[in-house]
């Protein structure tokens, strides 16, 4: 079993393979050449169940890559809404964590969660009402069901 096996399974969302490798002693915190852990790979590819398995096995949700990015930074950058919400609400990721450029994932997270209001009628281009979402996010409520976009964008992972 190599580092690449567990990272590849996490990247591709193969939750059963990840479970099996973890059961055989694979570390959820193995690093690649950029210091990405399996959590970084799962996060940027929106694999929520894999994230949960890795965290349950001791994966460090706050681990940082060579640029200081956490898995939450990666999920937000990739537009992986469900992964970002799970990281914050279920796995305890810090939305205020700063990377090496002093960037927090919080502004991007808010952008994922709040539809852009582009018309006087309070709807974005997808017809999703924006009213009330800002208050919900400001109070810490992260709800994927209120978001305009739930599918990940083309990842730059």
In a domain, 152, yes or no: no
pLDDT in tens, 1-50: 566 899 999 999 999 999 999 999 999 999 999 999 999 999 999 999 99
User: Residue 14 belongs to what domain range?
Assistant: 3-146
Q: Which SS3 state, helix, strand or coil, does residue 56 take?
A: helix
Residue 156 covered by a domain: no
Number of structural domains (the chain) is 1
Joined together, the tokens standing for residue 38 give: 């399996």
Q: Is residue 153 part of a domain?
A: no
CATH number of the domain that residue 112 is part of: 1.25.40.20
pTM of the model as a whole: 0.75
DSSP 145: G
């Amino acid at each position: 079993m190599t580092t690449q096996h567990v990272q590849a399974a996490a990247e591709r969302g193969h939750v059963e393979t990840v479970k099996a490798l973890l059961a055989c002693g694979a570390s959820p915190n193995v690093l690649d050449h950029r210091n990405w852990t399996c959590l970084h790979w799962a996060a940027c590819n929106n694999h929520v169940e894999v994230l949960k398995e890795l965290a349950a096995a001791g994966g460090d949700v706050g681990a940082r890559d060579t640029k200081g990015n956490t898995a939450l930074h990666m999920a937000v950058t990739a537009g992986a809404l469900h992964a970002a919400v799970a990281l914050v609400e279920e796995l305890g990721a810090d939305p205020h964590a700063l990377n090496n450029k002093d960037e927090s994932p919080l502004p991007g997270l808010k952008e994922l969660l709040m539809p852009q209001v582009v018309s006087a009628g309070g709807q974005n281009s997808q017809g999703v009402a924006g009213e009330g979402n800002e208050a919900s996010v400001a109070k810490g409520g992260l709800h994927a069901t209120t978001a305009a976009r739930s599918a990940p964008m083309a990842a730059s992972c």
